[in-house]
């Protein structure tokens, strides 16, 4: 496999100036943290954080058949989405395995923006292109390099952005999007995020990323802190949100992940994965995604075995980290259906079985 | 650029060791290691009185993203453990060469080869 050159986002020099620790992620050099990742995490929970997410893929489907093409390509019912609204959905293979989880925004009657994980953007583009072939009046266009994505997340996000835009932020619902100007620059302003907090995601032209970042930084002042991927991961984990590559893989179905509600069997036409997913829909899944809180201080991490009360492995950890909010290690993982009622679980942490409590997800829910 | 005090010796596992004082050395992790780990949230250290062997793991440090073994850089008996870093591991990030020390060993026999400050600086520059 050839190793492509590592890409930089339009905000790379800013991260450098801020002294970020950078890491390669999905082919991009991304900020892992700027200082203390715990402080970044807490800033989002209590005030506001600023994220560069320009590595994410933006794929546009346009034309009279764009909605129908997405209904066929994805498991969701996107043609029914109202203009200005967004939906969390997935693209599956014929066996029902998840190829990526996505947010689809309907920007206009015949314009949809599909936001894909960076690591999967090429796969998603290839699949959308292939799956749209039967829809002559739908055009697939990769605009990932044309867009930068800047997220402002946290309870003070709206107040900070309100200083920079006349857009009706207070009226913008969760999972909705509207075009507007931020600091005088054209942006698509979405009330979406991956942190468990209120917040916004700003899609701007790549060439406008630096001035938008600077304007938000200035407007946020001491209430806003730049945040890296490390904080993003602990924030989404506390919020019980799946991460592709961890909770979701091509070997995982939406039902395994507890996301069966995103499969819309009642939409018109056939869709990729329908037959396989329909066969799974009425059966109890062979495994389920659960939340774990460690009783001790050692951290159950990705790939560690979950061990049942009978002493045998009955699952595996998909994500784990010390939770800044709970002050304890938390994890998500898959457990075999036969152990669903097992309350005496441990995790094999480097050779020693450490006791964990099974808990309902999410670990953290913001107070409205 | 991480600091590398001239007066200390170092291991390739990014730990620092003082010169022996009456046969006892103090051990910690370097600023480079603390920066690379990120916020340290938990350390487990050997028990006071434990016998440890040079190069063998005798504890671990957990940060947000990873867990790392802590090695005994010399053979001997653990004669002191820094309870305050067990209570508040953030001290290690804040002051890795001072308040963030981890444990003390009464050496038994000769030290294995350790790196001096210039050699350790070179190691982390090349990392």
Superfamily of domain A286-359: Aminomethyltransferase beta-barrel domains (2.40.30.110)
CATH class name, domain A7-54+146-238: alpha beta
* A254-305 confidence digits (pLDDT tens): 999 999 999 999 999 999 999 999 999 989 889 999 999 999 999 999 999 9
The answer to whether residue A2 scores a pLDDT higher than 90 is no
Cα–Cα dist B40/B42, whole Å? 6
What six digits make up the tokens of B11? 């291991």
* B10-57 confidence digits (pLDDT tens): 999 999 999 999 999 999 999 999 999 999 999 999 999 999 999 999
Which residues on chain B are in Cβ contact (under 8 Å) with A301?
67
Domain covering A57-135 in this structure, CATH number: 3.30.70.1400
Q: In terms of pTM, does the model score above 0.90?
A: yes
* A218-231 confidence digits (pLDDT tens): 999 999 999 999 99
Q: Could you check whether the bond before residue B67 is cis, i.e. omega within 30 degrees of 0?
A: no
Q: Where in chain A is the domain with CATH 2.40.30.110?
A: 286-359
* Average confidence (pLDDT) over A9-24: 97
Cα–Cα dist A50/A322, whole Å? 22
- Number of other residues whose CB lies within 10 A of the CB of residue B9: 20
What backbone torsions phi and psi does residue A146 show, to the nearest 5 degrees? -80, -25
A151 close to A11: Cβ distance less than 8 angstroms:
no
Cα–Cα dist A252/A256, whole Å? 6
* Domains of chain B with bracketed CATH: 9-112 (2.40.50.100)
Q: Where in chain A is the domain with CATH 3.30.1360.120?
A: 7-54+146-238
Cα–Cα dist B124/B113, whole Å? 17
The shortest CB-CB distance from A298 to any of B35, B42, B93 is to B42
* A327-354 confidence digits (pLDDT tens): 999 999 999 999 988 989 999 999 999 9
Q: Is B94 on the interface with A (CB under 8 A)?
A: no
The answer to whether residue A368 scores a pLDDT higher than 80 is no
Q: Is B86 on the interface with A (CB under 8 A)?
A: no
Nearest CA in chain A to B59: A298
Q: Where in chain A is the domain with CATH 3.30.70.1400?
A: 57-135
Cα–Cα dist A86/A259, whole Å? 17
The answer to whether residue B94 scores a pLDDT higher than 50 is yes
Complex-level ipTM: 0.90
Burial class (CB in 10 A: 0-12, 13-18, 19+), B92: buried
């Amino acid at each position: 496999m050839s190793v492509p050159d590592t890409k930089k986002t339009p905000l790379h020099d800013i991260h450098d100036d801020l002294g970020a620790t950078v890491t390669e992620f999905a082919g991009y050099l991304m900020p892992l943290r700027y200082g203390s990742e715990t402080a970044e995490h807490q800033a989002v929970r209590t005030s506001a954080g600023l994220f560069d997410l320009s590595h994410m893929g933006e794929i546009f489907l346009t034309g009279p058949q764009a909605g129908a093409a997405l209904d066929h390509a994805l498991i969701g019912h996107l043609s029914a989405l109202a203009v200005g609204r967004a939906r969390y959905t997935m693209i599956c293979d014929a066996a029902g395995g998840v190829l990526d989880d996505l947010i689809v925004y309907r920007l206009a009657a015949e314009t949809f923006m599909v936001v894909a994980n960076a690591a999967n953007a090429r796969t998603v583009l290839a699949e959308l292109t292939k799956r749209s072939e039967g829809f002559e009046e739908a055009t697939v266009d990769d605009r990932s390099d044309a867009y930068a994505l800047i997220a402002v997340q946290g309870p003070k996000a709206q107040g900070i952005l309100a200083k920079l835009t006349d857009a009706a932020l207070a009226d913008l619902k969760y999972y909705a999007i509207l075009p507007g100007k931020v600091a005088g620059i054209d942006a698509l302003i979405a009330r979406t995020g991956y942190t468990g907090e209120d917040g916004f995601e700003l899609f701007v032209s790549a060439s406008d990323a630096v001035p938008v970042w600077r304007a938000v930084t200035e407007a946020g002042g001491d209430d806003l802190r730049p945040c890296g991927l490390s904080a993003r991961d602990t924030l989404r984990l506390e919020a019980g949100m799946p991460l592709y590559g961890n909770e979701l893989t091509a070997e995982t179905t939406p039902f395994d992940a507890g996301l069966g509600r995103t499969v819309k069997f009642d939409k018109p036409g056939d869709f990729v994965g329908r037959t396989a997913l329909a066969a799974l829909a009425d059966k109890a899944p062979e495994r389920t995604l659960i939340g774990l809180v460690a009783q001790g201080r050692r951290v159950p991490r990705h790939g560690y075995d979950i061990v049942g009360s009978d002493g045998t492995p009955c699952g595996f950890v998909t994500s784990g980290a010390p939770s800044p909010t709970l002050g304890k290690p938390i994890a998500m993982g898959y457990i075999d259906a036969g152990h669903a009622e097992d309350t005496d679980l441990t995790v094999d942490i480097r050779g020693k079985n450490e006791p964990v409590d099974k808990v309902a997800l999410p670990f953290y829910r913001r107070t409205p | 650029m991480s600091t590398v005090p001239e007066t200390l010796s170092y291991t390739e596992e990014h730990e620092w060791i003082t010169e022996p004082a009456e046969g006892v050395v103090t051990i910690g992790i370097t600023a480079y290691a603390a920066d690379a780990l990120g916020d340290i949230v938990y350390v487990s250290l050997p028990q006071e009185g434990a016998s440890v062997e040079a190069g063998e793991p005798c504890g671990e440090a957990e940060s947000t993203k990873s867990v790392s073994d802590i090695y005994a850089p010399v053979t001997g008996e653990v004669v002191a453990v820094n309870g305050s870093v067990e209570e508040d591991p953030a001290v290690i990030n804040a002051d890795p060469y001072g308040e963030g020390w981890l444990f003390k060993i009464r050496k038994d026999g000769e030290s294995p080869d350790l790196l001096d400050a210039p050699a350790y600086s070179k190691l982390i520059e090349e990392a």
